[in-house]
A and B are shown apart, each in its own frame.
Chain A
Amino acid sequence: METKVGSACETCTVFNAKGLKKLGVNTDNFDFVVALAGNPNTGKSTVFNALTGLKQHTGNWPGKTVTRAEGAFVYNEQKFKLIDLPGTYSLLSTSEDEEVARNFILFGKPSVTIIVVDASRIERNLNLVLQILEITDRAVLCLNLMDEARRNNIVVDERSLARKLGIPVVATSARFNQGIPELIQTVSELANGKIECKPHRIKNIPPAIEKAVSKLSREIEKVYPGIANSRWIAFRLLEGDEQIKEALRSGEFV
C-alpha cells in the first residue's frame, strides 16, 4: 500500500486554498454543518460571503441579518454547509434572535461553530464567546476586522488568547479576504477531529452556585454520558428554562 507523503506545500493553507470551491446556495449532501455566530455588526455576513462566494447583502448596521442564511463550500472534497446566525450579545435572555442562535448551536449540533468577534472590541464580545464555549466544544474564534484593530493600535496576542479560550484563533479581515484560507483550514481540521478543543469554563462564579452547578452537571452526565455541555444545561435548569427541561426529557441534545 502506498501512502502519499504530505509535502510542506500540501499542508500549507495557501496551497490548500486551491482545494476550495465556493458553492453558493447549493447546500445538498453536506458532510459537515458549520455555524457562524457572533455579536451584531462584527462582519458575520462578510465572513459568510467570503466563505461561500455568495453576495448576501451586508451593511454597517446591527441586526441586518434577519433570517438564517445558508450557503456551502467544498474544501478538500468535503462539503461544508454554512449557517449564518443572527447576531446576538448574549444567549442568556429570551429575545427571538438569541433563541434562534442558541437553539441552533444546541440542537442543530454543528460540527464546528465559527465565533466571529470584532478585534477592537474583544472584551465586550467575549461575553458571548464564553457562553458559546459552554455549549459546544468545537469552535474557532474568528478575530475579524483586524484592519480596524490595527488602525486603533490594538495588539492581540493570538496564541495566548487561543490558550486561554482553549480553541483555535484565526485573525481575519474578511472585507479584504485576509485570513480566510487559514480560517477554512482550521474549520476543516476541527471538523475532522485533527484539533482538540479544551474550551474555557466560566470560573468566577460564587462557590454556592458553583457547587450547585457541579452537582447538577454530574447528575446530567450520569444520564447522558460524554455530553459536552452538561454545565450549560445546569445553568439553564437553575434559571428555570422550560425549553431546556423539555429538551432534556426528549433527549434532543444527543
Chain B
Amino acid sequence: MKLKGTQILLKALEEENVDVIFGYPGGAVLDIYDELYKSTMKHILVRHEQGAVHAADGYARATGKVGVCLVTSGPGATNTVTGIATANMDSIPLVVFTGQVPTGLIGNDAFQECDITGITRPCTKHNFLVRSIEDLAPTIKEAFNIARSGRPGPVLVDLPKNVMAAETDYDPANIKIRNYEVTHKPAPKKMANVFEMLTSAKRPLIMTGGGVILGKASAQLTGLARKYQIPVTGTLMGLGSFPGTDPLWLGMLGMHGTYYANMAISHCDLLLAVGVRFDDRVTGTIKTFAANAKIVQIDIDPSSINKNVVVDLPIIGDTKATLTDMINFLAKHNYTYSPADRQEWLGQVAEWKGKVPLTYCQNGKEIKPQYVIETLHKLTKGNAIITTEVGQNQMWTAQFFHFDHPNTFISSGGLGTMGFGLPAAIGVKYAFPDKQVVDIAGDGSIQMNIQELATAAQYKINVKIVLLNNGYLGMVRQWQELFYEKRYSHTDMTYAPDFVKLAEAYGIIGLRATKPEEVESILKLGLSLDKPVLMDFRISREECVYPMVHPGESISNMSLGSREMIN
C-alpha cells in the first residue's frame, strides 16, 4: 500500500514505540502537523523549540527511552541546537525531526531555509537529510538505532517538505539497516588483571559516572561495592547510580565535590572508574589527580579512554556486561580483601567525613538554599525526580539531595545549559505523572525558558519549581567574589519579575517564602497541590557553594568557605 511521507513518519514512530512528541509547528512541517491532527500520537506543544528538546531530553533521561522532537525549518531548527548540544555532551538518546524546504530549493536561501545538518554535525551523534521518499522509513529506523545503541546520543533527521508529500510503499518488516549494537566481548585477561590489582590494593575506590546510569548498571555497581566494601564517589552525571544514603557513598567529587570524596580520590591506591570521562570539573589539575592510584577505566566508548587521564587498565565495554563479568570473575576466583586493610581505609574515609562534613551555616535569619533542598529531601523522603537548572542551584542539589536511585537526577552536566530544568521537568513529569517531579531552579536560569510554564499549565503537567532566588547569577557572582575582588560585573538580577504573580499570570500557583520558618510549610503546601506550582524562596543572597577547588588546582586543595562551615 502506498503511503505519504507524513503517514510513514507517524507509522515509523509507532514502530519505535514512541508515545509522545515534543514539538512546535511551522511552515515546512504543516503537512506533518496535518497528519498529527488525524492521528492518536500524543504531542506536547512547547513554547520554544529549545524547550521541546530539553523536554524530550528529560523524558529520555528519566525513562531510558529515546526522546522525540518535531520542529520546523530555519529558526525552528536552529532553536534546537542548544538542546541537541546538551544531549550530545551527556550522551542522551534523542531523535530530532526538523522540517526543511523542498529539495529543489535547498541551497537557494529559500524562506526559513538553513543547513541544519551542517550546523548540527559537530553536536549530534549523527544526522540525516532525507533526500527521497524511499529513504524515509530506513532513515528513521537507523536514526533510532543510532540514538540508543553503544554510547547513546542525539540524532537529527531533516525532512524536506516535498519528500514528506511524496508517496511510496511502506513495509516496516522489510527495512534492512546496519547493525549499530556494540557486541560484548568478554575480556578474561583484563578481569585477571583487575583481580590482581584489587588483591594488592589497600585503598580501593570506585568512581561512578553517567555511563553506569545509561548502561543500566547501577545494581551491578552497587553489588560490587557492597560485597567488597569499596567506598564509592560519583561524578555529577553519576548521581543516583549508587545509593546516596549508603554509608559507602562519599558524595560527588571534583570542583564542588565533598572534602572526603576529593581526599579519597587523592589518597586511594586503586581507582575503578566506571562510565566516566574525567571532565576537567572532576579532575582539577590532571597532574595530581588520583596520583597515588592505579586506574582501571570501564567505558563503552574507546574515545573516552586516555583522553584526559592516562589509565593503567582500560576496559572497553558496556558497563553492565563488564561489571557482571567482573563480579563473576571475582567470585569464581574467591577474591577476598584483608579486613584489617579495609577497616583502616574505611576508617580513614570516616575520619575525613567527620572532619569536614557537608554542611552550611544556618543563621536563623535568612533562608539558606541548602536548607530548602534538605527539607525537600526530607518531605519527599528522597522519592522524587529532581531536575536542575545550572549553577549554584545545581551544585547545592548535587550536594544536599541524596539520590538513591538512577534516572532521578536530571541535569545538564557537560554543556551546563541554563534553562534546562523547567522543560526537562515537563518531559519527566509527562513520563511519570504519579511521581513528584521538582525543578530546583535559580532565578537566572529559570528565566531562560520561563515560557514553558504555559506548556505545564496547558497540559496540566504538575511540575513543582523550587526557585532558589538570590537575585544574582549566583555562580558567576561567586567567581567574581572569589577571583575578581567582588566586582559584580552584570550579575545582579534584582530587576526581575514578581515570580508569584508571573506564575499566576500563567495560570499556575505561585508561593513565596522569605523566612527560614516558612520553608517547610511552603514546600509541604506546594508539593501537596495537584497543579504546577512555583515556590519562590528568597534565599541568602551571597551564599557560596563550598567546598570549592579553585580552577587549575589539585582537587585535594579545597576552599571550605567561612570557618563556621567546619563544625
Q: Do A and B bind each other?
A: no
Binding site for B on A (CB under 8 A): none
Binding site for A on B (CB under 8 A): none
